[in-house]
Amino acid sequence: MDDKGRRGWRRLLASFVFAGRGFTHVVKKEQNMQIHLLLSCIVILAAFFLDVNEAHYPVLILLIGGMIALETMNTAIERTVDLVTSEYHPIAKLAKDIAAAAVLIYSITALIVGYIIFYEPILQWFSSR
């Protein structure tokens, strides 16, 4: 019997295990995810050391979480397209390009919001030197 109709704690726990495996794979194998995670650590440390307003922390967490989630989804789309066809196909390329564009758009948005959040703390840090 397959698990599709089953419910309960075992199935819930299994879904977390599967998600953990997926995330581990993306972190180990995808250079862009490694870059996003490195930059996320830098942002968190900078926010702490530059004494960023605590009200901005939820925004930073949402930006980081959204970026990581979107990069993970981009990888899933790329792998799915690769599974469907190993030959070059313009629609397959377009699907990958569109998924990458979503990551780029979100990255630019995060950069703009980060600039807004960090602008004053960076000015204050330089003026205190």
Active site residues: 71
Rg (C-alpha) for the chain, rounded Å, is 19
| Residue 76 Cα distances to 25, 34, 38, 51, 120, angstroms | 11, 16, 21, 36, 38
Closest by Cα among 9, 28, 10 to 20: 28
How far is 62 from 60, CA to CA, in rounded Å?
A: 5
Q: What sign does the CA torsion over 59, 60, 64, 70 have?
A: positive
How far is 108 from 84, CA to CA, in rounded Å?
A: 30
